Chains A and B, each alone.
Chain A
């Protein structure tokens, strides 16, 4: 191949994102460029470092393409992180498109030195618990929960949950031994951590309600590497990236979600719905978290209120 691009990510090579997106996308780039572009995929942080370093790695040229989460480096990419607040997700496809638009409008220089290829989210997180479902805020009282990110943790703590931020490996150990009562994660990660065996109940927002939370992701390329490509090859990359790629990844995550839900169902776990009115009450109660986020965006020189309003508008329109 004329150009070899190293793609670095943190998931193990058996993860669906690796097998059904990265490998497929790499093959597509090879085909579209008639073999001129070879994408070498390095899963599981094989090129060293920890997941929070991925954005810096792509900026510094340690790798050429990286897939990363803004929440890993809190406050550094605040516009992209906006969608990681509680109740800022409908489904993965629509939320991904909304995020991409939001970044086009407000996220201008957040990824300086990097060429963003796609922005997306996963589907909304669910509450997976060991002993009882969570159908109202009262059920959260005193529950020891592993939170997926800071703002969601704040929201859950606001309802009286005892929030911990275990790393996932510790979370698996903690859930199996009962150190924690549950976690808040999408179905998509259930098979990887065998959450269906570690928990017995899953509580999901009823159809029509916003999801509890979703982390946002960015697929980034080193800018110098992108600019250094021939016009033809840059065209190949352009055609394989952008808002349509964001939509596509989002859609795939909806597929992963459905698959994970099937695993939970098949294992015989109880799946309960949290009513729309209850979720709306939670959303209301979580407004201090959103206010704090607006203040943070303001601190960083953005118009926080405008970004938040636009994000909600895009989500509701989708």
Chain B
């Protein structure tokens, strides 16, 4: 949504961001299909149950796993499109340059935050793998759902790093027509 500043700087690294955009959209689409799939199974389960055939076993767990998966896989796209809400009324009067600098610092901080969470989730993944915890009905290994979480937070960290660094780089006069 908030366009200009970083958008122009990114223009200089267009191939990288085009690639990132494709990866993030793919990630989000997979997440969307997962939640879609869950909605489909739930609906199927209800129809079955209304017709007297009994609900699909483990439907609740499936929805839980799907929710965690889509929450994780949706993240990078939101980072890339700067979808995280912020309040800008108090800083709008400042010169563009200052706002841009602030935004890029926060973006880098965001990157550090996601990287930290990603590192911890990797630890959590290995812990869950070690425990061998499984869900009650589907007997699905719980560590599975840590995989999209690591991917989502890791990719978000990468996206934010790329955005933050690109925005801080000195801006060369734009020669290519964007």
Contacts and interface: CB of A to CB of B under 8 A. Distances in A.
Interface stretch (B16-24, B93-101, B108-116, B129-137): B129-137
B54 A162 contact: yes
Given A162-B54, A164-B55, A165-B60, A74 B136 contact: yes
A146 to B, nearest CB: 11
A166 B60 contact: yes
A85 B60 CA distance: 23
Interface string A66-78: 0000000111100
Interface string B126-165: 0100011110110000000000000000000000000000
The size class of the interface chain B forms with chain A is 10 to 19
A150 B58 CA distance: 12
Contacts, number: 22
The size class of the interface chain A forms with chain B is 10 to 19
A75 B136 CA distance: 11
Contact of A74 (B55, B60, B134): B134
A165 B131 contact: no
B55 to A, nearest CB: 7
A170 interface: yes
A76 B134 CA distance: 10
B123 to A, nearest CB: 11
A74 to B, nearest CB: 7
A150 B61 CA distance: 13
Nearest to A71: B136
A170 B42 CA distance: 15
B60 A75 contact: no
A115 B139 CA distance: 30
Interface in B54-103: 54-55, 60
B136 A165 contact: yes
Contacts of A56: 127
Nearest to A165: B136
A150 B136 contact: yes
Contact of A73 (B54, B60, B131): B131
Interface string A164-179: 1111001000000000
Contacts of A166: 60
A73 B133 contact: yes
Nearest to B134: A74
A76 B54 contact: no
A167 B137 CA distance: 13
A165 B137 contact: yes
A170 B133 contact: no
A2 B55 CA distance: 55
21 contacts: A56-B127, A73-B131, A73-B133, A74-B133, A74-B134, A74-B136, A75-B132, A75-B133, A75-B134, A76-B131, A76-B133, A150-B136, A162-B54, A164-B55, A164-B60, A165-B60, A165-B136, A165-B137, A166-B60, A167-B60, A170-B60
Given A150-B136, A162-B55, A165-B136, 13 more contacts: A56-B127, A73-B131, A73-B133, A74-B133, A74-B136, A75-B132, A76-B133, A162-B54, A164-B55, A165-B60, A165-B137, A166-B60, A170-B60
The 4 closest A-B pairs by CB, nearest first: A150-B136, A162-B54, A165-B136, A76-B131
